[in-house]
Structure 1
Amino acid sequence: MSPIAARLERLPFSRFHFKLLIMGGLGFMFEAIDAAIIAFILPVVRTKWHLTSFETGLLGSSTYVGFLVGALFAGLLGDRFGRRVVMMWALTFFCVLTFVNAFVNDWHTFALLRAIAGIGMGAEGAIIAPFLVEFVSNRYRGAFTGALAGFFSFGFVAAALIGYFVIPLNPEGWRIALVIVSLPVIVLLWWRRSLHESPRWLETRGRHEEAAAVVTDIERQIERSGVTLPPVVPVAGDATLHEYSGSFFGNLKLLWKPPLAKTTLMTWCLWLSVTFCSYAFFVWIPGLLVQHGMTITKSFSVSIAIYLAQIPGYYSSAYFCEKLGRKTTIVTYMGLACASGIWLAFAGSDLTIVLASIAMSFSMNGVNAGEYAYTPEVFPTHLRATGMGTASAFGRIGAICSPMLVGYVYPIWGFAGVFGMTTVILLVGALAVLILGVSTSGKTLEQITADEYSLADDLPGASLKTAK
């Protein structure tokens, strides 16, 4: 069993963990701002550059091409070289490219730079949860990760406020918006210099002294606040996975070997369905409201109310992740999202569309909080970043396809076609979690690995640690 895990599991929630929550959460917030601001830029540049519906959808999808590449390689690099270094460089990359994108003059260059900047933000978003969850006790891990993902909601609200107050100011307001999105990232980068590398990851690399030094520093920070730490209690779990050193792409192959293959399939289905439907909805809803007859200004103001509904969606889900468990919470909120999608499909009046959109926003982001809490838990430490990154990357296929599909489907079948499609895809994701999902509530990360993948040293655990 791991002495590092035992020392981390005894730690109460403290100022140290709160700082982690804010540092990681702000990264999610900037990802959400970047993802959402395009919804408010699209109606403006569509007119400015005389774009067709398909070209507009292609422009909306460009960021998510970068997100896919960034998320995939963030996981592989994070398990190979460490979580912290990937997170720092990813955020730097995004900041620079987004700033440059504010000064382009044609949609082709704009789409290209959005895709390249998306590599940085995709990597950032994929590495945060598997990195920070490794510092947290199982007693509050689900709520912590759900609350961490809740910062997405603040990003969407901030994007809606920028879209409402900044973009309509003048024809170049969209450029100002991109500058506003990029510059505050510098402050977060400076603050993150003090972050430790994950001690659990260090231990899997055989760097035991460094791992112990990190935990000792954390313990000292907590004790300086007047907290007396309880004695170290041995943590049940599999120690056979320590000192693992797989090859760069060997980790990717391991995800599709039994017994992990079932979990990998489940997470990929979950992320594809949720990401497809989230971006089909949030990227297009301001534009769909305009095409339904609202002015741009009114659609942007309504979007603020829709995005505000994300906040209770995320944080109610974070609460239920601990009370009901991750699987139950995810499936419940996906059911609510399906009901909201059906409501939107048959909505006729502006008021009905707005109310159904608020319900969709609440429930979809409840699902998002659940998946961010659940996904890092179901993979062993030496594959955690790869598992999270590949699931996120596969989900980005949905983000790439959905804006273009909505641009194609809406002129033909309207709201009914768009939201009927999202309802079916959400249902598939919910069934994947119900049938293939594993139980994680109330278990340490090591216990989950032992229970699901290491029942005996010469069976699953061995198969997970032999590929090089």
Structure 2
Amino acid sequence: MASKRAEPVTILSLRRLSLGTPEPQPKKEPKTFTVEEAVETIGFGRFHIALFLIMGSTGIAEAMEIMLIAVVSPVIRCEWQLENWQVALVTTMVFFGYMVFSIIFGLLADRYGRWKILLLSFVWGAYFSLLTSFSPSYVWFVFLRMMVGCGVSGHSQGLIIKTEFLPTKYRGYMLPLSQVFWLAGSLLIIGLASVVIPTIGWRWLIRIASIPGIILILAFKFIPESARFNVSTGNTQAALATLQHIARVNRSAMPEGQLVEPVLDKRGRFADLLDAKYLRTTLQIWVIWLGISFAYYGVILASTELLERDLVCGSRSESEVVVSVGVSEESWSPCYCHMFAPSDYRTMIISTVGEIALNPLNIVGINFLGRRRSLSITMGCTALFFLLLNICTSSAGLIGFLFMLRALVAANFNTIYIYTAEVYPTTMRALGMGTSGSLCRIGAMVAPFISQVLMSASLLGALCLFSSVCIVCAISAFTLPIETKGRALQQIK
């Protein structure tokens, strides 16, 4: 009987369980991550070291092509009987080509990829550099060097690729160290010039200088396209494959979940740079880029003129050589022809080493004072040392002033490169760098006429002009509306 009574209880209990409605379970949302989160999670490792070495080496090729004009100018001045303005025009046309194609390559890089434009620019630059060595006349030399300038303008995509792969806390350290490669290229071309020009001539110097660019073309296959660019165009699978590759090389883990980024239909529009959010920043960046370039190439070319013409203390070099042209007295014309002596090359090397002298202080300033304050301080000091260059001093004093000037102008370039790459979002980063690089070439185009023409007429006037421009840039840097120190790279506006 007891067992019969227990049975209904069991049945009732089962009925209650079966008739009850189950409690709703919370729906789990799939985990997602962005490229920014993936880059930060993967961290810094072996991939970034290889990236630093390969992309940084683009600075060697660029420095050799740009500094080439400074060491070849005395030779072509004599060979083709050139006036001061003709020598200055060579540098101006190089930067004219650079200016025009900086914008074009920036637009193309934001639409078709950083890697493709970087490769194209190196192939272009190496091809026309080799052609320059066969120039039959001054006109052909100017034209072909201008075409080299067009190609070199795309080298800045290497910096953008580095910036977009580096974790936030490493950008302020690794990007300034890239100055080592520019320094190496500058020293290499000066050292080669001191050996090659007196022996086998300037044409062979140009051929040798194109070799690093050709080697880099082969090395680019080890560097992938920017993952940030790929996701901005909707190619999420390619971006994910790139990030997984970096994680394997670095022996680190990827974030859990699915890579998700908004597809951006509008990319690389010039109007975005002048949008209300970025208008003031863009205009001030352009002023700073123009002024820094004006000062940087002004220092380089002024160094050459001060050594070649011995303008310090208003003197003239006793080693000036008058070259006769023609066979009759009527066709005779004087040509200023002063080849660099070994001591002149040593002075150029010492002053060029200055470009890395302030790198440790520059890194500290960028990471602790911030990009804006650091840039305003170094620009102010640059203005001061331009004025000090007017002091009548010894050869050692001149070398010291040039050394400090090269150190300061290099620090300026380091900081503005980093700031520009960080302040703009991925949709317009390459265009922002391209237009800035293009506008700054106006300063580079004007600098030769100040350093190689005005300086011969008035040393003080030329130096005061350089100093005034640097003061304007210092004020502009201090008043920039956005500080990018410690800020993650923006993907969209």
Q: Is TM (by shorter chain) over 0.5?
A: yes
Q: TM-score, normalised by structure 1?
A: 0.88
What is the distance in 1 between the residues matched to 2:391 and 2:481? 32
Number of the residue aligned with 1:188 = 216
Number of the residue aligned with 2:462 = 418
Pick one of 256, 265, 272 that aligns with 2:283.
Answer: 265
Kindly tell me: are residues 267 and 427 of structure 1, through their superposed partners in 2, closer, same or farther at Cα, counting changes over 3 Å? same
Kindly tell me: are residues 141 and 420 of structure 1, through their superposed partners in 2, closer, same or farther at Cα, counting changes over 3 Å? same
Code of the aligned partner of 2:282? T
Structure number, greater radius of gyration: 2
Deviations 1:220-274 (A, max 9, x none): 1111xxxx44866999xxx9x83112266xx111111111111111211111000
User: Could you say what the CA RMSD is over the residues aligned between the two structures, in angstroms?
Assistant: 2.1
**1:171-210 matches, cutoff 5 A:** 173-210=201-238
Shift of 1:3: 1.8
Number of the residue aligned with 1:456 = none
DSSP 3-state at the match of 1:440: coil
Stretch deviating more after TM superposition (295-304 or 195-204): 295-304
The reply to whether residue 157 of structure 1 matches residue 187 of structure 2 is yes
What is the distance in 2 between the residues matched to 1:111 and 1:243? 44
5+ long unaligned stretches in structure 2: 1-31, 311-315, 320-339
Shift of 1:342: 1.2
DSSP 3-state at the match of 2:42: coil
Number of the residue aligned with 1:16 = 47
DSSP 3-state at the match of 1:283: helix
Shift of 1:9: 1.3
Pick one of 400, 404, 422 that aligns with 2:445.
Answer: 400
**1:50-449 matches, cutoff 5 A:** 50-124=81-155, 126-170=156-200, 173-223=201-251, 228-229=252-253, 242-246=262-266, 251-292=269-310, 293=316, 296-297=340-341, 298-414=343-459, 416-446=460-490
What is the distance in 2 between the residues matched to 1:375 and 1:432? 14
Code of the aligned partner of 2:237? E
CA contact (8 A) 1:38 1:60 kept: yes
Kindly tell me: are residues 351 and 304 of structure 1, through their superposed partners in 2, closer, same or farther at Cα, counting changes over 3 Å? same
5+ long unaligned stretches in structure 1: 450-460
What is the distance in 1 between the residues matched to 2:38 and 2:382? 40
Deviations 1:313-370 (A, max 9, x none): 3454234322332222212221221121111023443332221111101111111111
Q: TM-score, normalised by structure 2?
A: 0.84
What is the distance in 2 between the residues matched to 1:168 and 1:287? 19
CA contact (8 A) 1:313 1:361 kept: no
What is the distance in 2 between the residues matched to 1:316 and 1:230? 35
Shift of 1:28: 1.3
- Identity, in percent, stands at 24
The reply to whether residue 39 of structure 1 matches residue 70 of structure 2 is yes
CA contact (8 A) 1:149 1:368 kept: no
Stretch deviating more after TM superposition (152-161 or 341-350): 341-350
Shift of 1:437: 4.2
Deviations 1:410-438 (A, max 9, x none): 12212x22221111111111111111241
CA contact (8 A) 1:164 1:301 kept: no
> Matched residue pairs, number?
435
What is the distance in 2 between the residues matched to 1:347 and 1:253? 49
What is the distance in 2 between the residues matched to 1:8 and 1:364? 31
Kindly tell me: are residues 79 and 10 of structure 1, through their superposed partners in 2, closer, same or farther at Cα, counting changes over 3 Å? same
CA contact (8 A) 2:305 2:451 kept: no
Kindly tell me: are residues 233 and 355 of structure 1, through their superposed partners in 2, closer, same or farther at Cα, counting changes over 3 Å? farther
Code of the aligned partner of 2:307? L
